[in-house]
Chains A and B, each alone.
Chain A
Amino acid sequence: MNTPELSCEEVIERLFEFLDRELDDVSQEEIDRHLKRCYDCFSRAEFERRLRERIAATGSQKAPERLKKRIRELTE
Chain B
Amino acid sequence: MTPVESKQPGQASAANESQRVFREHVELLMDRLYGTALRLTRNPDEAEDVVGEAVASAWQRLDQLNDLSHLDGWLFRILHNTFISLRRRRYCREDKEVSFDQEMEDDDTRFSLFEHLHQPFLLWVGRPEKEFINRLLEADLRKAVDHLPDPFRIVVVMVEIQGYTYEEVAAILDLPLGTVRSRLNRARSLLQKSLWQQGRDAGLIGTNTGFRVGDRR
Contact = CB atoms under 8 A, between A and B. Distances in A.
B34 A47 contact: no
A63 B114 contact: no
Contacts of B71: none
Contacts of A55: 141, 145, 156, 160-161, 191
Interface residues of B, number: 47
Interface stretch (B5-13, B19-27, B98-106, B201-209): B19-27
Q: Chain B at the A interface: mostly helix, strand, loop or mixed?
A: helix
B148 to A, nearest CB: 11
A33 interface: no
Contact of A66 (B19, B48, B188): B48
B44 A60 contact: no
A70 B31 contact: no
A51 interface: yes
A43 B130 CA distance: 9
B174 to A, nearest CB: 19
Contacts of B44: 64
B39 A58 contact: yes
Contacts of B129: 43, 47
B51 A58 contact: no
Given A20-B159, A75-B23, A59 B52 contact: no
Interface residues of A, number: 32
Interface in A44-75: 44, 46-48, 50-52, 54-64, 66-68, 70-71, 74-75
29 contacts: A40-B120, A44-B114, A47-B129, A47-B133, A51-B192, A55-B141, A55-B156, A55-B161, A57-B138, A58-B141, A58-B142, A59-B36, A59-B39, A59-B161, A61-B35, A61-B38, A62-B34, A63-B34, A64-B34, A64-B44, A67-B30, A67-B51, A67-B52, A71-B52, A71-B55, A74-B52, A74-B59, A75-B23, A75-B59
Interface of B: 1, 19, 22-23, 26, 30-36, 38-39, 44, 48, 51-52, 55-56, 59, 113-114, 118, 120, 127, 129-130, 133, 136, 138, 141-142, 145, 156-157, 159-162, 165-166, 184-185, 188, 191-192
Interface of A: 16, 20-22, 40, 43-44, 46-48, 50-52, 54-64, 66-68, 70-71, 74-76
